[in-house]
Amino acid sequence: MATVESMLNDKGKVIFSLAPDKTIQDALKLMADKDVGAVLIMENDKLLGIFTERDYARKGTLQGNPVTTPLKDVMTRQVYFVGPDQSAEECMAQMVDKRFRHLPVVKDGKVVGVISITDVVKTVISDKETLIAGMENFRVGMELMQ
């Protein structure tokens, strides 16, 4: 069963973050440039929040001007996170239950990466394919023994 650590090793541990006083426009530019759906809002290596495409769609233009509104005014402050030893299945359950698509990964109080629902789904599918192939090999082996 794959862990968050293995997902990060596969995709890389790049963290895209901005300070809370940066603007919505700064976040949108970074997200577009890096082709990501979320940025972490951090100050002095402390995770303060997360800003996602969904935050922009729901709050970005309703609560101010994207050019001047700081991220601290529109970010999601209640950030759920996972540890590197958690399984892909645990992450998927949390994402489905809480209805979000990005999870910061925290180890010893420090952000070490971010995983997305896409990362999790790919990993779970790969794990299931491996399990099915193993079961099929076992079945064939049992048939040959008869």
Looking at the DSSP assignment, which residues form a beta bridge with residue 39? 51
Residue 56 has pLDDT above 70, yes or no: yes
CATH of domain 4-145: 3.10.580.10
Strand partners, 18: 41
Length of the chain: 146
**Residue 86 · residue 75 · CB < 8 Å:** no
Q: Are 27 and 42 in contact (CB under 8 A)?
A: no
Q: List the chain domain ranges.
A: 4-145
Q: Give the C-alpha separation, 114 to 100, whole Å.
A: 13
Give per-residue pLDDT as tens, 96-120: 999 999 999 999 999 999 999 999 9
User: What is the value of pTM for the model shown?
Assistant: 0.84
Per-residue confidence (pLDDT) for residue 22, from 0 to 100: 98
